[in-house]
Each structure stands twice: as structure tokens, then as C-alpha cells.
A and B are shown apart, each in its own frame.
Chain A
């Protein structure tokens, strides 16, 4: 137990310090970009005071927007204060799934840039089954989510087959497939099948009540069953990678495809099945977004879930548990950033600066070690920084 704890401590040390440094630098940027702070430049004490106040307020708002806000407590109901936490989790849910998609691909030595397109296909599939059929409760959710996952698995599988058969690079393929998916959804939303009756703008009908993921904390909160799907998926990926023969093949090909091939492991099988599973994971993300919070398919359904996924997987070191934490962090930054903008006027974009800084420091572990004088450990940091050798 103690050993496990110290191992865990080692594993989060670097991300933790990167996190800390990113927030420090973001704080400096918030301070120096605030006109009121700069106005006090002539008196150092006031300057520092007001700088600290500005940063403090911004970070307080960030916290209030992502975890807990006293001001939201109403009618003596303490629980309402946790509305921001619900928002964090709702934002993080699709990110966990797309993040897992990228992380699993990393383990097989593939760079899945295509989570965005796979997400879109998952959303389309789930939406269509969701509004077009009348099925019993439970079964409807299952059918819609599975359809989304299958659609996306096929979409990802195409890349897998192309790479396995022709050796085309998956990075190029997935980027192109993202474009196709992005325009495909625009077209789909204009077809008769998806057009909402009485509307001409690109928005599909809302999915039926039976197809919606159950809300977990009443109708005030958007928190829904999707988070359990995401956590189950993380558990599945962990199990697949560490406990199964398929995961063994994936990891062997990811670590040394040539030796894996020599030992009789079929590299084309690994590439194709990895891309299908990755597609299904990202597609499930799209399904959860439609069935859990958006209900209606729209052109902007995917946001940047598929692209942030790359960062999330990197931050989570391509580990399932790490990816879950990284996605929650990103969810918190997104949710908190909105509150920070409305409460303190610090633009939402600053959150992206923070995200970028975290990733920058994670990707440059030697720099963080240098700053904090940490000795080098046998870490798997190198794992996530390779993978372009497809």
C-alpha cells in the first residue's frame, strides 16, 4: 500500500509541478494584463497588492465556476452550491472518452488525431436512433449509444484498414477524415431525415425522453449517467491493455512493431482493431454528448472535444486513470473559465493559455526537473512524445 502510494506520488509529481507552474505564469499574465493593476505601477506596494487581488479574484472565480460556489446556495439547500462541479463533470465526460481514444492509440504506437471526426459520427448515429425510434426505456439508450459507437468504429476502422493495407500514415488519414466528418455533419443536418420539423436551420430534433441519459442529481443539475459510461470505458481500456491477450498485442506492436511481427503478432490486425476501438470510444463520447446534455444534434456538437483529447491523453500519460484526471482538470478549467470571464472580466481565452502551459511543461519534463532540481526517474514520459514514426 505504501509502495503503491509512493508510486502514485511519483506518477503525479511532474504533472503536479507543471500544473503549479502553469498557474503561476497564468497569474502573472492576469496581473499584468489588468489595466487597474498597471495603473498602480508607481507605488510598488499597491501594485503588488492589487496584482494579488486581481489574480486571487480570478482564481476564486475559476474555483467557483468549477467546484463550489457559496452564492448559489438558495432556499437553504447546500447542495446547490455544487452546481459548478456538476458542470465540470458534464464537460469532462466526453473528454474522458475522446481522451481514452487517443491514449489507447498511443499504446499501440498510433497517433489518433481523428477523435474529432469519430466523435461526430458517434453523435450522428446516437442522434438518429434517439429521435427516430420509439423504444422502451433503457433499451433505447443502449441502442442509440451502440449505434453511435459502431458508426464511429467504422469511421476509425477505415483509417486502420488503409494504414494496415497501404502503409498510409494515420496522422494524415485522420486529419483528412476529420475534415470529411466536419462537412458531412453539415450536410446531414440539411437532409430531410435530420431537419427538425418547422425549422430550416441545421439542428436535428431532440432525442426522445427514453433515449436520454438519466440525470443523477435532479433537474437543476445537468449531471447525468454519462460519467459512469466514461468511467466504465476507462476501466475497460485499463482491463484491455493490462489483462488481455489483445492488449498484450497492442502494447507489443506499440513498443516494437518489428519484434512483435517476428513473434507472429499480426500488425495489420492490431492497427485495424486499435483504430476501431479508438473510434468506438470517441464515438461513445459523441453519443454521450447528444444523449446526456445536448439532446439535439447540431453542427457544433463536437466543439473541440476531439482535439483537446490529444492534450488530455498527453497530460494523462496515455494511462486510463491519468486520462480521467486530466479530462476532469480540463473540464474544470472550461467550466470555471466561463464564470471567471463573467465575474471578473478575465477572458475565457486565458484558460487556454493555462492549458497550453500545462502541456508545454508536461512535454518538456527535463525543464521542470531542472527548475525543481528533481532527479531523473525511470518514467514513461518518453512514451507520449514518440509515435510519429508510424
Chain B
């Protein structure tokens, strides 16, 4: 089935989110839509799926004009969508989730689950999925939950499948698996609209790439286009995908972890007796597939975890067991994994968020008094220095885009005297321009002689920034390798395979 959009225009107030967009998806084609956050990709897809109504423009399915004013129209026309945030009920089984909204009943109003169960098994077999229809959704890994969404679309006869940023929540392995699934779907004749801002994935699977910038189609290119070119078209200027790393002198160890064990509330060790150190002026990356203890280790280094054993020393001084407050003020900058949950108070203003961990320090505080004037004037300085795009520092931080939110966190953490920077997934969910900025700041800290510990599940990021790489697997550090390591070697380590020649 082919899908064609002609002249789709959508405005929100003075903002033109989509400006007469033309797009054609052929039968059995994987069509990637590439663009930064806020470029208008999601708006466009929500129009196709009937969640938004276009101001102008037409949608054709198999050359026939159709009117889509709500999702059921889209479903009827054979358009299915897998949202970035899954629309599943966590405590329901897979089968129950799939019948949701299409409940068929047997006699006496008994819900007919078995038909759905059979359908799931059939679709799973056709496409090589391994999904248990009776599993409770919340017990499934994210990658499988996504498959449940895909199965749901397929069962209701989607011939065009929209995948909205499907890899944002996936581990590298799950991502590879999804890309395979997409190839399989394509082989069976399903058309796919693949929305993303990740260049490597696009080049791996797409047949055709449409690049959207500020609501307009700026280019339609083939997947053989080099990454650098794709990125500059997306951002609208030349971007540096591999930031330049200056040669420089590495200093003495600043932060040393010895036999560090972290336990969860049930007493299970999630980080198992790890040993590592970071030197002044180097980036130590802690790589690994999500969920191998990195999050807990990052939090433990600033004493945010409750059950920590072993030793953490900063400049030779033991800091394990001190409070998070003392850890931060001993000179650790901490960029938490989730900026929304841990990094920012979303209802607070930008100025207030910039002093979240500094509000009781000079110059902001004099005794009990918090000086509103100094808070504002300092905020203006941070905003200028870190190029945070905003209307007013008095606006709630929730009004900012993801990249600018992360800049607020980074500006706050780097604006006090620090010795070590601990950054946990600092570019997750950010667009190319923002990632470039974050990378530059991280390397700048390194060049100024600070120790940087970078927790990242993104292989590209690890390869680009790290001086040394520690790979975590099931709570242990398998190996610490030099940055000369290849992608393949790292991939193997992340899968738990230890190489024979251990280094560094």
C-alpha cells in the first residue's frame, strides 16, 4: 500500500509546525523521516494518524484521497502507529492489551481472549517474534513491549506502519533486533515510516530519507548519503559529529572506587565489587547495555544509593557514606540519567532550577535569605554562557525543549568549583545540535584537568569521547580498555564476552 501526503500544513498560533509538506511512501518501502526535535516530525505523523487535523493538504492511500479526522479513520485505511511512549496498560497481559478497544465477547458477555491469543501466535510466527500472549506487559523488557505494539498494529491489518522514534528507548541489541524486524516487515510488503534523528539507523535500513527542518521538507536523499551530510541538512549548518579531542597531559587519579558494591532494597548486589579510577584530565566511559548496574553505580558515586559497600575516594579522601549534599560540595558535578525526574523541578523557573543545589550557598543566600536579584542576574549569565534558548529565566523549565533542559542541568553543575564530572546518559533523547554541545562541554572539562566519568549506552558516544572505556556487564566491570578498541570488540564485551588479551 502506498501513502502520499500533499501540501500538509499545520500551524499552532504563530508557529508553523508543518509547512506544505509533500511525501510519498511506496509499497514495501522503509521511508525514514529525519529531523531534529521540534522539526515537526511528530506533528506530521499525528496528522496522518488522525490525532491532529491539518489546516491544509491531502492524504492519499493507493492514489485514493481519504479523509482522516480521527485514529479510527487511519486504522480503517490501514495505517498503524507505534508511539514513542507505549500505549499499553502495564498490568494487563499481552493479549488483553491487544484486544483493548476492540473487545469481542462470547456468549453472556464473556471476553473473547482466545481469538486474540491465536492471532498473536500467528503474527509472531509469521514475523519471527517471540511474544507470550499471556505475559503481563510490565514484566516484559522494553524491546518486547514495543513488539507488542507492532503486533497490535499488524493484527488490525496495518499496511503502513508509523514508528515514532522507536529506538529512543532501546538498547543497542534491541535496536538491532528492531531493525531486523523492520526488514522482515518490509519483505512481507508492509510500508514503514520510520521517524528518528539517529543517523546510523537510518542509513542501515531506510530505502528513502526525507529530511525535515523547521516544518519544511529540506531534502529527499538516498541512504548512501554520508552521515555528516545528513546531519548538516538536519541542523541547517555544518556539524561536527566526531568532536576533536586534543592531546593533553593526564594527571593523577582523582576519584578512586575500590571494591564498590551497591545493593538494592532487597539486598541483591546490583554492582559487584567494582574497581576503577579516573585521572585528572581524562574521560573514563562506563559502557554497557542498559540495566547492567550503570545507573546504580552512577548514583552510588554521589551517595544517592542507600546500600553501598567498599570505598570511594576523592583526592584521597574517603567520601563513601557522606551525604549527597557533601558529595556535591566536595567537588563532584552530577548530571543524572533522567533530567525530567532527577535533574529538574519542572514547575520551577529556569532561574530556580539553576540554583537547585546552590540555593543555600553564597552569593545566593545570606543567612536564611535567598536573594532573588542575584538568582536572576546569575541565571542571565548562565543562559548566555551556555546558550540556553528561552523567553525569560522566570518561565517554568518545563517550557524548554529537551536540549535546553539538559543545558540547564549542565550549566548548573558546571557553574561551581568541581574536580570530577559524573554524567549519566547525558545525551539521551537529545537532537544532533544539542548532542554536539554536550560533547564539547564534556571534552572542555577534560581539557581543563577535571576527571570525567561518562555513563553511556551509546557506542558512538563512548567511542568519540572516552580515553579509557570500562564495560559493565551484570553488575561487574568486565574490562577496562583503551580508546583504540574497535566497535566489534566493545560490542562483544557488552554482551559479556571477555577477550583473552586484557589491557589497561
**Which residues of chain A have a CB within 8 Å of any CB of chain B?**
243-249, 251-252, 255-256, 258-266
Shortest C-beta distance, A240 to chain B (Å), equals: 9
Report how far A248 CA is from B361 CA in the complex, Å.
Answer: 13
Q: What B residues does A252 contact at CB under 8 A?
A: 345, 348, 352, 356
Q: Contacts A245-B359, A246-B368 given; indicate if A262 touches B345 (C-beta within 8 A).
A: no
B370 interfacial by beta-carbon distance below 8 Å: yes
A259 in contact with B347 (CB, 8 Å): no
Q: Contacts A245-B365, A246-B368 given; indicate if A263 touches B347 (C-beta within 8 A).
A: no
**Number of chain B interface residues as a range:** 20 to 34
Q: Contacts A245-B368, A245-B370 given; indicate if A262 touches B348 (C-beta within 8 A).
A: no
Q: What A residues does B365 contact at CB under 8 A?
A: 245
Q: Contacts A245-B365, A245-B370, A262-B334 given; indicate if A256 touches B341 (C-beta within 8 A).
A: yes
* Residue in contact with B357 in the complex, picked from A243, A256, A258, A264, CB distance below 8 Å: A264
Report how far A243 CA is from B365 CA in the complex, Å.
Answer: 10
Shortest C-beta distance, A199 to chain B (Å), equals: 47
* Residue in contact with B352 in the complex, picked from A243, A248, A262, CB distance below 8 Å: A248
B342 in contact with A258 (CB, 8 Å): yes
Q: What B residues does A246 contact at CB under 8 A?
A: 368
A262 in contact with B359 (CB, 8 Å): no
Q: Contacts A248-B352, A251-B348, A252-B356 given; indicate if A262 touches B368 (C-beta within 8 A).
A: no
Report how far A6 CA is from B45 CA in the complex, Å.
Answer: 39
Shortest C-beta distance, A320 to chain B (Å), equals: 17
Report how far A103 CA is from B352 CA in the complex, Å.
Answer: 21
Q: What A residues does B342 contact at CB under 8 A?
A: 258-259, 262
Shortest C-beta distance, B371 to chain A (Å), equals: 9
* Residue in contact with A255 in the complex, picked from B345, B359, B360, B368, CB distance below 8 Å: B345
A249 in contact with B359 (CB, 8 Å): yes
B328 in contact with A264 (CB, 8 Å): yes
Query: Which has the most chain B C-beta neighbours within 10 Å: A245, A247, A262, A265?
Result: A262
B356 in contact with A255 (CB, 8 Å): no
Proximity bits, B313-344, A CB within 8 Å = 1, else 0: 00000000001110111000010100001111
B352 in contact with A261 (CB, 8 Å): no
Shortest C-beta distance, B308 to chain A (Å), equals: 16
Report how far A259 CA is from B336 CA in the complex, Å.
Answer: 9
A244 in contact with B356 (CB, 8 Å): no
B414 interfacial by beta-carbon distance below 8 Å: no
16 new A-B contacts, CB < 8 A, other than A249-B360, A256-B346, A261-B304, are A243-B369, A244-B368, A245-B359, A245-B365, A252-B356, A255-B347, A256-B344, A258-B341, A258-B342, A259-B342, A260-B345, A262-B324, A262-B334, A263-B357, A264-B328, A266-B325
B343 in contact with A262 (CB, 8 Å): yes
Query: Which has the most chain A C-beta neighbours within 10 Å: B325, B328, B356, B360?
Result: B356
Report how far A248 CA is from B364 CA in the complex, Å.
Answer: 12
Q: What A residues does B345 contact at CB under 8 A?
A: 252, 255-256, 259-260
Q: What A residues does B352 contact at CB under 8 A?
A: 248, 252
